[in-house]
Structure 1
Amino acid sequence: MAMDPNEFDDFISGDDDASPVVDTRADGRLLRVPLGRISPNLVNPRDDFGTRDKLEDFGRSLRRRQIQAVAVVTRRAYLDLWPEHKDQIGNVDFVIVSGERRFRAAETVSLPALECVINDGYAESRKTFLDAVVSENIDRQNFDAIEEANAVEALVEAFGSARSVAEHYERVDGWVSQRRVLLRLAPEVQELVRRQHMPLEPARKLGKLVKDHQWDAAAQLSWWEQEQKERAAKAAEKKAAKAAARRSQAAPQADTAAPTFTAVKSVPETVAPQAASVRPGALPGTVAASAETHPVVVPEPRDQDQTPKPTPWAPSGDQTPKPTPWVPSGSITASGVEKTDTAASGAGAPPAAEQRARVRQLPTHDWQQLADIVIAELPQEALRNLAGRILMSVGAGGPQEQSA
């Protein structure tokens, strides 16, 4: 039993919605039309429908299922608008308004028919027909700039002015002029724009120059070659400026890093230079520095070489005092210690002879050298006592036990 239309409307719309469901199909039917009875229209600005491989993929998808129908008008309605197209469309029954890519994909895979919706309302006027053809493509992302320019130009012819087209699509006037100016480019240059080898910004700039100077194709290509060089130079300059900015930002950070401490005692410039000398028994590296040019540098412990080195040693048998190089008051001695003259004779007098420096630290890291120093320094009785204690510490007994 058929459902009453009013009951269907009540079922779809809620109690709060009084708007009925309306069937908007032109004749209330979805027709399956053989491809031989369909023709594309001749005013479609789109002429790039993809490669054959892409069309084959799309055609195989249509063979499995066609989701969107092709919008068509009758042959008679179309020829009422463009009677000069009679021979080009041939003996067909319908002309495509929207869906030419589906038609071409179906032809590529030899699909026998397509589902179509007939609506002669699209053919009320050229303006209405072109609006229906272009509206589907005007905001499509893969609608290339030249196709879009051709579409806008056709709309201007149909609507009578660029202002009318802009108002119809709710755009500013510049939206129309920016697209139409591309049509002034030579075909070779338009192909660069199609393939996105020339961006739209310089393409529109070149179109205005062509309008003002009437440049031919050679002049346009020459301008684009020079423009590419200038754009590359600007890009390189911008890149160099960014690199310089990064370096300048990194420099203050390096300057604020914690400095490595180095103990340096400055030497007065008035001190006369003294010849460097090494006293017997001095510590390693303790050399009388030149007071004028060679400050004494005490390295940080972490910077010192930790490799064991022989400790300088001089026998203590000869205790005869030896003269010490005189250093004026306030200067640096060979041991790296600031020396101040406190002699009663006043500043500037040579100090009294001092005892030579003794070994300040035994070389415990080198037992052979340590043994040599002990044997040379201690008397025989002290050596025997020391040897006994060493033997007892290692559990070997004293000298008396060994002799027994």
Structure 2
Amino acid sequence: MAGQRVALSSLAGAKVETVPGITRPALVHVAPSDVAPTPLNPRIDFDKETLVELGTSMKSGQLAPCVAIPRAKYLGLFPEHAEELPSCKYVMAAGERRWRAALEVGLPTLDLHIRQDIAETPAKFLAAVLAENIERKNFNYIEEAFGLQRMLEMSGGNQTDAATRLSKSRQWFSQRIGILRLSPEMQQAVRDGELTAFREMRRYAAMPPDQQMAAWQADLEKARRSAESPSRPPAAPVASSGKETDDPGTEPGTTGVYTAVYTPATPPASPATQPEQSQPEREADQPPPAPEARHHDVMKPSSTPTSAQHLAPVPDPRPEPDEPAQSAEPSGAEPWAEQPPRVVGLAIPWSDGAAVADIIVQRMTPEQRQILLTRLQAAQAPSATG
């Protein structure tokens, strides 16, 4: 099969690269001492141990060449850096970490890509410097922000143009450069790796500089206390077990304020011996008592406060945790008077018979009052005959 014929006229019209690196990068191998990093690189923190590890791996081959331009071309863009670059032949735009690693382990040569195209303008060269660092996940946010600030200056203060040169959005650019509002102490905390969450950096940066450190320290203390304190699950409502106790004033779940008497029972001679009473049929408008609950002095919890402001609140017989046990059935006892009050609402003034009678008249139906009167008369009968 015959090969394709090529016209000599087409070859004559093709562009000839007279200077390596103009149309495509030229790969060269040079001594590390002939190369210098650009002073524009915002990265200043390099860990020596990791550099040695990288240099050791580069002995078996450098996978990614550094990117550089000739020194003369660089000084045409940044003549102010002449004294900082006295004797090198090339200035790197990317790859300073690989260059430092080669120096650490004594590599004889370093691979460079000569890129003349990135030396067209100062902003284009700086974009090449920042591009590699920005894409690295472990790039220091403060170093990055200083690099963005330099790009903003080269873009005439226009954030949109600066972001476009880096192929980023204006919002991304504004957020990243905004952390330079952090105070010097807070910036150092970022450099040291003590403050790593970017969202927190932005929050502190929005505060006045003299308040940032105090706010950060307060957040650290709050986080420390939260880590040291075991989390407490929410307590379930305490329900009455229905079991008899020696002290009627210390039944489980005795909290709340009580407004109506269900079925008054005959008061016992002592709290230790209390006979069970059969509960009479309740009225249609009365809610049922808890199953197996004790029937003497059983009250109904109420959330509606009374207008009788002269009544003293009933103190809580046993302080509970923060969660009130609203579903529990309480029992009355004189030891309540010795405890501090807890719930504001209607209280039963057991030491004032007239006041108790007023509450009964106001809140009990005639049928329930008759039941109560019958029980009270029955309770007085033994003492009257004795």
SS in structure 2 at match of 1:48: coil
2:205 is matched with which residue? Answer: 207
Change (3 A) 1:133 1:271: closer
Change (3 A) 1:271 1:29: closer
Correspondence 1:112 to 2:108 = yes
Change (3 A) 1:272 1:153: closer
Is the 2:69–2:119 contact (alpha carbons within 8 Å) kept by the matching residues of 1? yes
Where in structure 1 are there 5+ consecutive unaligned residues?
Answer: 7-22, 263-267, 274-291, 297-404
Q: After superposition, where does 1:377-388 map in structure 2 within 5 Å?
A: none
1:184 paired residue among 181, 184, 188: 181
How far, CA to CA, are the matches of 1:224 and 1:5 in structure 2?
Answer: 75
> Deviations along 1:353-381, whole A, 9 cap, x unmatched?
xxxxxxxxxxxxxxxxxxxxxxxxxxxxx
Correspondence 1:129 to 2:125 = yes
Is the 1:97–1:129 contact (alpha carbons within 8 Å) kept by the matching residues of 2? yes
Correspondence 1:35 to 2:35 = no
1:310 is matched with which residue? Answer: none
Report the Cα offset of residue 124 of structure 1: 0.5
How far, CA to CA, are the matches of 2:185 and 2:37 in structure 1?
Answer: 27
1:228 paired residue among 205, 217, 221: 217
Is the 2:35–2:92 contact (alpha carbons within 8 Å) kept by the matching residues of 1? yes
Q: TM-score, normalised by structure 2?
A: 0.52
Change (3 A) 1:255 1:188: same
Correspondence 1:48 to 2:37 = no
The structure whose RCO (Cα within 8 Å, separation 6+) is larger is: 2
How far, CA to CA, are the matches of 2:36 and 2:128 in structure 1?
Answer: 16
Report the Cα offset of residue 186 of structure 1: 3.7
2:274 is matched with which residue? Answer: 293
Correspondence 1:80 to 2:76 = yes
Is the 2:99–2:110 contact (alpha carbons within 8 Å) kept by the matching residues of 1? yes
Is the 2:27–2:113 contact (alpha carbons within 8 Å) kept by the matching residues of 1? yes
2:64 is matched with which residue? Answer: 68
Q: State the AA in 2 paired with 1:113.
A: T
2:192 is matched with which residue? Answer: 195
Q: State the AA in 2 paired with 1:204.
A: R
How far, CA to CA, are the matches of 2:205 and 2:267 in structure 1?
Answer: 83
Q: TM-score, normalised by structure 1?
A: 0.50
2:318 is matched with which residue? Answer: none
Calculate percent identity across the aligned residue pairs.
29
2:159 is matched with which residue? Answer: 162
Is the 2:186–2:213 contact (alpha carbons within 8 Å) kept by the matching residues of 1? no
Report the Cα offset of residue 52 of structure 1: 1.2
Where in structure 2 are there 5+ consecutive unaligned residues?
Answer: 7-19, 245-263, 278-386
Change (3 A) 1:206 1:67: same
Change (3 A) 1:25 1:102: farther
How far, CA to CA, are the matches of 1:142 and 1:271 in structure 2?
Answer: 78
Q: After superposition, where does 1:318-397 map in structure 2 within 5 Å?
A: none
> Deviations along 1:121-154, whole A, 9 cap, x unmatched?
1100011101111111113110011011012111
Is the 1:71–1:98 contact (alpha carbons within 8 Å) kept by the matching residues of 2? yes
SS in structure 2 at match of 1:97: strand
Change (3 A) 1:191 1:202: same
SS in structure 1 at match of 2:138: coil
SS in structure 2 at match of 1:196: coil
Q: Give the superposed CA RMSD.
A: 4.1
Q: State the AA in 2 paired with 1:144.
A: N
Worse overlay, 109-118 or 172-181: 172-181
Is the 1:193–1:200 contact (alpha carbons within 8 Å) kept by the matching residues of 2? no
Report the Cα offset of residue 178 of structure 1: 2.5
How far, CA to CA, are the matches of 2:24 and 2:266 in structure 1?
Answer: 116
Structure number with higher helix proportion: 1
Correspondence 1:153 to 2:142 = no
Is the 2:66–2:111 contact (alpha carbons within 8 Å) kept by the matching residues of 1? yes
Report the Cα offset of residue 47 of structure 1: 1.3
